[in-house]
Chains A and B, each alone.
Chain A
Amino acid sequence: MRTTPTIRRADATDPPEAFTIEAPVRLEDRVAAALFAYADLFAAARRRQLHLLIWVVIALLAMAYYSSWQESGHLGARAFLSRFGADLLGLGGLPILVVAGPMLVYYLIQPALVRSRLKRWYRDERLDRPIGNAYRFEPGGIAVTLPGRGSALACRRIGGISESPTHLFIRLKDIEDVFALPRSALSGEQVAQIGAWAASCHVDGAGAARAFPELETPPGREPLLTARFELTEDDRAVALGWQMERPGTRRRRRRGFILAFLVAALIPPLLFGVLWLLDPERVPFRYAFPLFVEMFASTFWKWVLGLWAIMTAVILLHPWMRRRHARQLARQMQKRVQAYEHEVRLYDETLETWQDGFCNRFDWKGFERIERQGDHLILLRREGEPLILPLRALDGDKLAIFQRIVDHRIDGGSHRPEAGT
Chain B
Amino acid sequence: MTKPLANSIATALAALALSVAAATSHAETIVMPHGLSVELPEGWHVDGSPEGEVSQTGLRRVQLVCDSEACRKTQETCTILMRSKEIEGADDAARLRALYASPLDRYTRLRAALRSTSKDAEIRKPLEIVRMGEREWYRVETDARHNYKSGLFAETVVSGLYVGGICKTCETGEERHRNGLKILMSLKSSAAAASLR
Contacts and interface: CB of A to CB of B under 8 A. Distances in A.
Contacts, number: 33
A295 B114 contact: no
Contacts of A283: 107, 110-111, 114
Interface in A27-48: none
Interface stretch (A250-258, A286-294, A372-380, A400-408): A286-294
Contacts of B126: 287
Interface of B: 102-104, 106-107, 110-111, 114-115, 119, 122-123, 126
Nearest to A294: B103
The 7 nearest A-B residue pairs measured at CB: A294-B103, A291-B103, A295-B103, A283-B110, A291-B107, A281-B115, A283-B111
Nearest to A298: B103
Interface size class of A (residues with CB under 8 A): 10 to 19
B111 A298 contact: no
Contacts of A294: 103
B56 to A, nearest CB: 11
Contacts of B104: 291, 295, 299
B115 to A, nearest CB: 5
A284 B114 CA distance: 10
Of the candidates A284, A291, A294, A299, the one having the most CB atoms from chain B within 10 angstroms of its own CB is: A291
Interface of A: 279, 281-284, 287-288, 291-292, 294-295, 298-299
B111 A282 contact: yes
Given A288-B107, A291-B104, 13 more contacts: A281-B111, A281-B119, A283-B107, A283-B111, A283-B114, A288-B110, A291-B103, A291-B106, A295-B102, A295-B104, A295-B107, A298-B102, A299-B104
B13 to A, nearest CB: 26
Nearest to A276: B107
B148 to A, nearest CB: 14
A37 B92 CA distance: 74
A298 B100 CA distance: 13
A298 B106 CA distance: 13
Contacts of B115: 281
